């Protein structure tokens, strides 16, 4: 059990540090003024991942129960952000990567071809 808790702590810490490095790369490339114009939900999710992920990783490494709570909050915020981002926050005119409509059939060559 201790190995699984430590593995979760390492995963949370690496997620937080990778998010921090990605945000730092954006700021260095685009400038802080442009990054502030990003969607607020993205900036909020990044802040929760960076701060909450590091706090959760430290608490989990010490085998404290609060690490699980903070880790679940980080997971919940990221799940909400990814779900909302997939469903709602698409670029105008962007096509969906998947279709639930049964308007495609398989072509004999193996490629999907539109009906019609």
HEC profile for 88-112?
CCCCCCCCCCCCCCCCEEECCCCCE
pLDDT at residue 37 in the model: 80
If one compares 39 and 75, the residue with the highest pLDDT of the two is 75
pLDDT (0 to 100) of residue 9: 94
Residue 53 three-state SS? helix
pLDDT, position 82: 85
**Average per-residue pLDDT for the chain:** 82
Q: Is the pLDDT of residue 116 over 90?
A: no
- Please name the residues in contact with 46: beta carbons below 8 A apart, sequence gap of 6 or more: 19, 23
Q: What's the pLDDT at 81?
A: 87
The residues near 16 (Cβ < 8 Å, ≥ 6 apart) are: 49, 50, 51, 52, 53, 54, 57
């Amino acid at each position: 059990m201790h190995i699984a808790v430590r593995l979760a702590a390492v995963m949370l810490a690496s997620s937080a540090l990778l998010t921090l490095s990605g945000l730092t790369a954006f700021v260095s490339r685009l400038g802080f003024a442009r990054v502030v114009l990003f969607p607020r939900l993205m900036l909020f999710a990044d802040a929760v991942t960076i701060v909450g992920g590091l706090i959760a990783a430290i608490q989990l490494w010490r085998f404290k129960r609060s690490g699980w709570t903070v880790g679940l909050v980080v997971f919940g915020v990221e799940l909400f952000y990814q779900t909302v981002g997939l469903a709602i926050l698409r670029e105008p005119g962007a096509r969906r990567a998947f279709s639930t409509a049964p308007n495609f059939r398989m072509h004999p060559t193996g490629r999907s071809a539109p009906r019609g």
